[in-house]
Structure formats: structure tokens, C-alpha cells
Amino acid sequence: MNTEALVPWPADLAHAYRVAGCWRGRSLGSGPWEWAEQWGDRVAVVGGDRRLTFRELAMLTDRLAEGFGAVGLVRGDTVLVQLPNGWEFVVTTLACLRAGVVPVMMLPPHREYELASIGRHVDAKALIVPDDWRGYDHQELALRVAATLPSPAKVIVAGENVRSECLGLRELMSRSGQVDARRRRLDAVSPDASDVAVFLLSGGTTGVPKVIGRTHDDYDYNIRRSAAVCGFGPDTVYLAVLPAGHNFPLASPGILGALSAGGRVVMLPSPRSETVFATIAAERVTVTSAVPAIVLRWMEEVSVTGPDLSSLRIVHVGGSVLSPEVAARIGPALGCRVQQVYGMAEGLLCYTPIDAPDEVTHRTQGAPISPYDELLVVDRDGRAVPRGRIGELLTRGPYTPRGYFGVPEQNALSYTEDGWYRTGDLVRITPEGNIVVCGRVKDLINRAGEKISAGEIETLVQEMPAIIEAAAVAMPDPQVGERVCLFVRARPGRTLTLDDVAEALTARGVAAFKIPERLELLDDLPHTPVGKPDKAALRGLLAAKPDTRS
Ligand code: J2J
């Protein structure tokens, strides 16, 4: 990895965060053995038909970490991890943290376009994928992508059907040998706490790859504070249903929060109500996290005669706007409490307190996890607005890095000169210090918590010969919050259908969740005075002309 492409915290602040005890100077890779020493024989991870104790988890982590070394992956190398929620995801992530190999958290629906552009950007040395997932051949995809990357990249496959050109993940972790000796060897090459531990993907507002390097120090603090605020402990049974590569299920407090508190993690690759309810009952799940779109489905499909959800104490809801009305119905419907979570892969995390009054839980997105989080709400000219007024939220703090990896021009837009991250969210702060998300100024579509960059879609469809100009706009939707509507000025005499757009984007290797779900052809797009498509006017057109499909 090109470490010069990272943007570090200023040295004086880094020092202050250490002195304050936020940064403990330890690698996240030391976690599994520390946990094993405290909770050795208790079950740590459940995934498919595997149940791993903390001790087994530590041993597998070490075996895989050493296996990475044996195939030439060394500290500082980046690997694209595209695994569905299963025990392999957990072991792979921990082994990366242990060896200092940096996982880039891709999502299972990503295809050539995302894997190749991110893989090039981070100079990936390997892709770790399932053999086959939901009828799609990920090995084949990974081999195609690997062939386009600048450095020779290995394809490591989780599953049974490993092709001869690929390496088997299970084989890499089937190493024999002395456990303690291996542990010492790995301890000796442990990454520095200031090294990047994981690369998370940003929702993004342009076509530029935006990856966020989270250091061991910062992510450790993020996890520790989250686990404390959410009351995680050895009795926690956390169900991971959102794609585990998202910051929310991974570390808010999620999988890493539960394990580091001595709790248990149940990995489930699907948020389907039936499976989720059955798993909650079977594993006595106490807490899970979901985006509002998924919680809505659970609420619709839970029935009084349904399975036993009595173990469920808390649902964390975040990722997109949750209306106060829906928030108020979740508790009674699922028989648990709600904690709203407002977070971002870039850093800042806010939770409503576990024991907050309904007013706070239903109507706010909570308060930051750290007294060192700095918040600034500004108007369009960047001036602070009076407390309680709406403006764009800027933030800095001990777990909010100062820039994306390797994109200085983008960083000049997304961060202020003095290191504030521009969230692009419009918020107000209540007198009690809770954040209320009121809208956004960034140009993206939030589809069931998945962020889709309008600019990225526009750039891609503009490659189609039939299109002169295109603008992607969020279309409100009762199920998923927002869907992508594409406004297009087509070349005279050319026809264009939604299917044509879907076909072109699919052929280009774009993830299915980004594909527009409505197409509106216009003779011309409305423009702002500076000549950009006028999105406010387009949203107005949508409001006046609701979707008539089905
Ligand atoms: C409204 N909008 C929200 C909320 C995030 C925990 C929880 C969520 C994310 C996440 C995360 C929102 N109400 N409660 O990483 O660790 C929108 C905002 C924000 C953007 C960040 C976590 N919670 N959002 O969603 O990086 O617009 O992280 O800036 O995917 O989601 O998106 P992302």
C-alpha cells in the first residue's frame, strides 16, 4: 500500500488522543487471543453449521494469518474481501487484522466495475470471494477482475469448489504445527497501532473511488466506545444480517463490538423475516441492527403467533431516515427497545441512549460516542449557525480520519483545510445535544441504506450513445426509502427504455442495486445558472408525477 496516499491526523492531536486514552497503541489483531484467554470455551461465532469457540476463533485466525504469509501476502498489502455473512467473513477479517494485511470491505452485490476500480485504486494483491453466491459465480468474476489489476492478484475462495487457478481459504487455514510458536511468530510481526486496519468504502458522491483507511487505534476506540454506549457484554448475542462489510454491522458495535465484549455473533447472510425470526428464536439473539427498510419488513411480517422473539432486547436502526411514527411502532411490534444510530464509514457515530425517553429515541438520531467528537453545523457559506438551527454537519474527532485514500482533489472538497469532514447531511442539534437528521446536501440516492452516487451513475450512462445528458435523482419510495430515477435527454431520433439502461449498466459490471428503477425522457433537462442539471427542479417534476408502475 502506498502509505503516502493516507491523510494522518496532525501529530499534536494524535498525541492528545493517546494521552486521553482514546488510542491505546494496540493492534486489533491482538483481540482474538485476549478474548480466548477470558472466554476460551464459550461460543464466539455461529455461521451456517459451524460454531466456533473463542479459542477456536483465535487458532483459526492465526492459522489463516500465517497462511496469508505463506502465499506471499505481507503486512501492508491490500486484499478485496467480498464475502457474504458467514463464519469465514469473521475469521478472514480477524486474520487480516492479525497479519496487518488490509481488507477492503466490498459487498457481495459488487461486480467488475466496483471490484476493478477499487482494486486498482488500492493496488489489491488478492481477492477473497465465495465460490458461488446466490447463483452467481464469484470465482469467475474475481479471476476476470484479477487479470485487470496492476499487480498480480491471487484469488482466494471460501467454499468447496475451488478452481485450480485459485487458492482455497479453508486450505490456507488448515495448517498444522504448534499453536504457541505460531502465536509468537505472529506477535513478532504485529502491525503498528497507527497502521490502517481496514479500508471501508464510502457511500460517495462522485465517480472517484472513496476508500477510508481506519487505523487500528481509531477503529479500536470506535468499537470500544460503541460497545460501552450500547451496553454490550458477555450476555450479548448479536445477529449480523446487514452485509458485514458495512461499518454498521461490523463495528457499530456490531460483530467486533460483540466479540470484544465477550458476546456471541450469529452471522446470517439474509435479512428475510422468516430466517431472521427463526434464528432469533434458535440462538436467543439479544440485539441486531438493521436499516429502516428491513425493520419495516420485519414489522409487517411478524405475527402474534410467530416464533419466539422474547430474547430480543434491542434493535439498532440507522443508515437512512427513520420517521418518528415508525420508530414508535418498532418496540411494540418486535417486543424490544430501539436505539437509533446515525453513523458513517468516515467516522462519527451517534446513538440514542439505551434508556432514553421515547421523545429522544423516536425523534432524534442520538449523540456522539466520544467527548472528543467535534461537531459544527454550518450554513452554505461555511459559517456556524446558532444552536438548534439547521445546517450542514461538519465533524472531526479521534475516529474520523482526515481524508480519503489517494484522492487529494476529492479531499479538498470533502474536508476543510483544518480537517473537518463535511458529512453532506443537514442536521440540527437539540438543546440536550442530540442530532436530528433533516436532509442532505450531497448528491446521492439512499436506497435501503445503500448509498448510490448520482454522479457515478450519470457518468456511466453517458457512455450510452443514445444519451446526450442524464441526471440521477432520488425518488421517494415507501419500501426502500429512495430509488434511482434517471432523467435523460436522448439523442434526437433515438429511443431508450429502462431495460436498455439496465442492460448497459449490467454489461458494464455495475452492482444491481445501483441500476435506475425509473426513466423519464425530457426534451431538455432544467439547468442551474452554472449549467448543472437542476436536481431540485427534477425532484419537483417527480413529486408532480408519481411513479405509475404497478
Ligand atoms: C438518517 N441518515 C443516516 C440515520 C446514516 C452506523 C449506522 C449507519 C452507517 C451508515 C454507519 C442515518 N438517519 N440514522 O456507517 O457505522 C446517512 C447519512 C450519513 C450516511 C453514511 C454506521 N445513518 N445516515 O449509514 O457510510 O447521510 O454509513 O452521512 O453507509 O448515511 O452512510 P454510510
Grid coordinates standing for 32? Answer: 482474538
Same domain, 394 and 247: yes
Please compute the mean of the pLDDT values over residues 181-198 and round it to a whole number. Answer: 97
Q: What is the pLDDT of residue 548?
A: 61
Q: What is the ipTM of this complex?
A: 0.99
Q: What is the pLDDT of residue 176?
A: 84
Contact 192, 26 (CB under 8 A): no
What CATH number is attached to the domain comprising 122?
A: 3.40.50.980
Q: Where are the beta strands (DSSP E) in 379-480?
A: 391-396, 421-429, 435-440, 444-447, 450-453, 467-477
* Cα 208 from Cα 29, distance rounded (Å): 30
Same domain, 436 and 452: no
* Cα 216 from Cα 26, distance rounded (Å): 7
The number of beta carbons lying within 10 Å of the beta carbon of residue 529 is 6
Count how many residues are written for the chain. Answer: 550
The answer to the question of residue 12 being in a domain is: no
The residue to which cell 409487517 is assigned? 300
The answer to the question of residue 89 being in a domain is: yes
What is the tens place of the pLDDT at every residue in 274-302?
999 999 999 999 999 999 999 999 999 99
Expressed in angstroms, the distance from the first to the final Cα of the chain is: 49
What is the tens place of the pLDDT at every residue in 245-259?
999 999 999 999 999
**Strands across the sheet with 78-81, in order?**
167-168, 154-158, 126-130, 78-81, 102-105, 196-201, 211-215
Same domain, 420 and 508: no
Same domain, 400 and 498: no
What spacing in Å lies between the alpha carbon of 320 and ligand 1's midpoint? 6
Taking the complete model, does pTM exceed 0.90, yes or no?
yes
What spacing in Å lies between the alpha carbon of 342 and ligand 1's midpoint? 5
| Radius of gyration of the chain, Cα coordinates, nearest whole angstrom | 23
Q: Which residues line ligand 1 (CB under 6 A)?
A: 203, 247-248, 252, 318-321, 340-345, 349, 365, 423, 425, 437, 440, 449, 451
Q: H/E element holding 116?
A: helix 112-122
Grid coordinates standing for 487? Answer: 432523467
The number of beta carbons lying within 10 Å of the beta carbon of residue 432 is 10
Please compute the mean of the pLDDT values over residues 118-122 and round it to a whole number. Answer: 96
Q: What is the pLDDT of residue 251?
A: 98
What is the tens place of the pLDDT at every residue in 476-497?
999 999 999 999 999 999 999 9
| Percent of residues, the chain, with pLDDT higher than 90 | 95
Which of 164, 192, 220 is a domain's end point? 192
Same domain, 474 and 397: no
Same domain, 432 and 472: no
Q: What is the pLDDT of residue 253?
A: 98
The answer to the question of residue 145 being in a domain is: yes
Per-residue pLDDT for 23 more than 60? yes
What is the tens place of the pLDDT at every residue in 33-90?
999 999 999 999 999 989 999 999 999 999 999 999 999 999 999 999 999 999 999 9
The answer to the question of residue 216 being in a domain is: no
The answer to the question of residue 22 being in a domain is: no
Q: What is the pLDDT of residue 550?
A: 44
* Cα 296 from Cα 275, distance rounded (Å): 16
Which of 390, 413, 440 is a domain's end point? 440
Q: What is the pLDDT of residue 546?
A: 72
Type of residue found at 298: W
Same domain, 496 and 359: no
The answer to the question of residue 18 being in a domain is: no
Cα distances (angstroms) measured from residue 405 to each of 177, 251, 338, 346: 38, 20, 35, 11
- On average, the pLDDT of the chain sits at 96
Per-residue pLDDT for 549 more than 60? no
> What is the full DSSP assignment across 453-519?
EHHHHHHHHTTSTTEEEEEEEEEEETTTEEEEEEEEEEPTT----HHHHHHHHHHTT--GGGS-SEE
* Cα 108 from Cα 92, distance rounded (Å): 15
Which of 389, 424, 440 is a domain's end point? 440
What spacing in Å lies between the alpha carbon of 150 and ligand 1's midpoint? 32
The answer to the question of residue 332 being in a domain is: yes
Sign of CA pseudo-dihedral 397, 399, 402, 403? negative
What CATH number is attached to the domain comprising 435?
A: 3.40.50.12780
Per the structure, the complete domain to which residue 516 belongs is given by 448-544
What CATH number is attached to the domain comprising 516?
A: 3.30.300.30
Q: What is the pLDDT of residue 204?
A: 61
Which one of 211, 344, 427, 444 would you pick to mutate in the ligand 1 pocket, going by the greatest count of ligand atoms within 8 A of its CB?
344
The answer to the question of residue 222 being in a domain is: no
Same domain, 345 and 431: yes
For ligand 1, atom 28, the nearest C-alpha belongs to 344
* Residue-wise burial string across 362-388, b where 16 or more C-beta atoms lie within 10 A, e elsewhere: bbbbbbbbbebbebbbbeeeeeeeeee
What is the tens place of the pLDDT at every residue in 315-349?
999 999 999 999 999 999 999 999 999 999 999 99
What spacing in Å lies between the alpha carbon of 456 and ligand 1's midpoint? 19
What spacing in Å lies between the alpha carbon of 329 and ligand 1's midpoint? 21
Which atom of ligand 1 lies nearest, measured to the CA of 444?
27
Same domain, 383 and 473: no
Contact 166, 188 (CB under 8 A): no
Give the CA-trace dihedral at 241, 244, 249, 255, to 10 degrees: 100
Same domain, 456 and 424: no
Q: What is the pLDDT of residue 209?
A: 82
Which atom of ligand 1 lies nearest, measured to the CA of 254?
16
For ligand 1, atom 19, the nearest C-alpha belongs to 344
Same domain, 54 and 137: yes
What spacing in Å lies between the alpha carbon of 242 and ligand 1's midpoint? 13
Same domain, 410 and 492: no
**How many domains is the chain partitioned into structurally?**
3
The number of beta carbons lying within 10 Å of the beta carbon of residue 297 is 18
The residue to which cell 452485490 is assigned? 109
* Cα 292 from Cα 348, distance rounded (Å): 20
Please compute the mean of the pLDDT values over residues 231-254 and round it to a whole number. Answer: 98
**Closest to 44 in 3D by CA, of 220, 234, 265:** 265
Those residues with Cβ within 8 angstroms of residue 19's Cβ, 6 or more apart along the chain or in another chain: none
